[in-house]
Chains A and B, each alone.
Chain A
């Protein structure tokens, strides 16, 4: 379980980028995180991933807090930024290998999973080419495979569908479902409201750093579409 309690963060010591955010994500949750540009989505996701520090509050995942036990916290976490800036001198496979090494994934298991996801994302032939030759979508797919290769229990994604072709987007949605069915938690931000509405069992809407709606998708939306609801409140 991921527990976010009263988390606040300011970049300039004046204005809060996220204000007193409290959320609980349970195993199996596929959580969609929506909000206008600059609302604080990326700040919260990066705070959970340990990329940026936060000023107040705590973030705990299965008993480990990111502030006190960062290594144990990160052992079961994967994060994919909106524009994955991968090491361009490596090939896709070398990059995935590097990430797998960081998570101590056995050779047999990593080969099995690389094979599976490379095939699902149609990256089998491209993986041995240098990342510098990849398109944005291919980099995104490589980052996804690298994230999935260590079978994380918490996956954080910032705009994961941007740049993906329809087949890859479909494969990603399918993978999301599979992983959450196995008990992992996925939190992703997106501006594609239809995808969030159809895919996620829970949603959160953030505006000016504050969560203004949060809960099970059907309970939050009632009989409205997410788009209409978003236009009303955000």
Chain B
């Protein structure tokens, strides 16, 4: 029965329909095209990182990098998904009454989650392994250690992530605004980890090559990563045995502990503390304001939505404020490159705030209701764009002065950079809305499918990075013009504005028609 369960769960969670949506899944050609796009994107990330190590001749560090990836992503995915996969099955009404042993059910669920984690991880790590074997002669023992060790690597972090996921869900349920509390706890946890990794990295005292000192710092604290690198690179059998016993052993113990816990958590679903929504101060508001309010409520009511789409903003604030405290060090380290670093850092963080790319899809079954309302399509889409800008621009205005002072920029350079950043925010927000209008998907079971896995979200992030590269290249070309730097940056703002207009105009014209044709 275990294999039957696993097959059904895998199909239900990772079938083409679930990954790409029913419209795409109907056409094999589209599925292949999207799969290739995924492969290309992951390959680009993996190979670019891999060749960075290759160019520096760091083969052992490459294995430490793989280990850090496996540990970090295992933790991240387990933290975000374990509660749904292991402790609160969405399909418990189907599988709960069936005469199936709890351990079979749990194993099938856990395996399904792990297939997802390993698939994602492999997409990122496979290019790294290829780069590794370009540099290091292939030998069978090393490969066996590499492969088995790779399977063992994420296990402790999956355990930790799963237990923390349960703990966060348990704590947040005690509060009336449980979703908000859950999000705050997740942020607190991630920022703590982020802070520790920075402190650990800083204390290592090797500031030259950032990824290397970070992964060295992680592996000096977390020994399994070091064991993995030693087993694969130095062919150290003893270190492989350590890895097997520690990570494998922990996982077996974890299985025994959670097999009963999983039944309990699924059967004891206590009600959330009820929030009282006061409605005695109702006000009539214009439709546009009402739409933005609706977006806000959806945003704060969905932890994974806030977590994914505002993490970049939080990091932006922290980095900008931190820049004030490390003013001297930054000015020495960055010198003339300071404005470029500032532009890249802001653009990178803003690209991760992609609410218009998913908010139409997130209407889900309510989309039908939205369609019946007497609201123009362009109003709906514009509200989604404005909502994203309302998230981004206050954060930009707050954090920019800190960053500009921290990096020692003069007034005109600061002003030009600020305008370029705001125009980039407008351009990407419109681009994101355009994406969702063309790649909507309403047939989801959990919001995570849309926010993390949907085609629109995926293209939004990579497309946003594409805009960054385009603008970087453009600025590089503009630098050949003998004009002051602020003027050249002002050109970027104008180009952003023109591009935004070019994307917005057809979207504005066709939004109503497209929305009318869509079916939820």
Contact = CB atoms under 8 A, between A and B. Distances in A.
A75 B100 CA distance: 9
B99 interface: yes
Contacts of A81: 93
A48 B267 CA distance: 12
Contacts of B170: none
B271 A74 contact: no
Contact of B96 (A50, A72, A87, A88): A50
A53 B268 contact: yes
A79 B95 CA distance: 10
A87 B94 contact: yes
Interface string A77-115: 111010011111110000000110111000000000000
B11 to A, nearest CB: 5
A51 B520 CA distance: 30
A219 B161 CA distance: 57
B96 A102 contact: no
Main secondary structure of the interface of A (DSSP, over half): loop
B93 A101 contact: no
Of residues B4, B15, B22, B96, which shows the largest number of chain A Cβ atoms within 10 Å of its Cβ?
A: B96
A179 interface: no
B284 interface: no
Interface residues of A, number: 31
A56 interface: no
A212 interface: no
B97 interface: yes
Contacts, number: 78
B264 interface: yes
Contacts of B445: 88
A13 interface: yes
Contact of A74 (B4, B93, B98, B267): B98
Nearest to A82: B93
B269 A52 contact: yes
Given A53-B264, A53-B268, A85-B94, A102 B99 contact: yes
Interface residues of B, number: 29
Contact of A89 (B15, B267, B270): B15
A13 B12 CA distance: 35
A50 B91 contact: no
B101 interface: yes
A105 B12 CA distance: 23
B17 to A, nearest CB: 6
A132 interface: yes
B273 A53 contact: no
Contacts of B91: 85, 87
Contacts of B267: 50-53
Of residues B12, B93, B97, which shows the largest number of chain A Cβ atoms within 10 Å of its Cβ?
A: B97
A232 interface: no
Contacts of B93: 46, 51, 79, 81, 84-85
Interface string B86-113: 0000111110111111000000000000
Contacts of A13: 270
Given A52-B267, A53-B264, A98-B4, A89 B99 contact: no
Contacts of A170: none
Nearest to B22: A132
A159 B271 CA distance: 22
Interface in A1-26: 11-13
B273 A75 contact: no
B271 A90 contact: no
A132 B4 contact: no
A52 B268 contact: yes
Given A90-B8, A103-B99, A11 B92 contact: no
Contacts of A52: 267-269
B271 A79 contact: no
Nearest to B15: A89
Interface string A37-55: 0000000001001111100
Given A87-B12, A90-B12, 6 more contacts: A52-B268, A53-B268, A84-B94, A88-B17, A89-B15, A90-B11
21 contacts: A11-B270, A12-B273, A46-B93, A50-B96, A51-B92, A51-B267, A52-B267, A53-B267, A71-B100, A74-B98, A74-B99, A85-B93, A85-B94, A87-B8, A88-B443, A90-B11, A90-B12, A99-B98, A102-B1, A103-B99, A132-B443
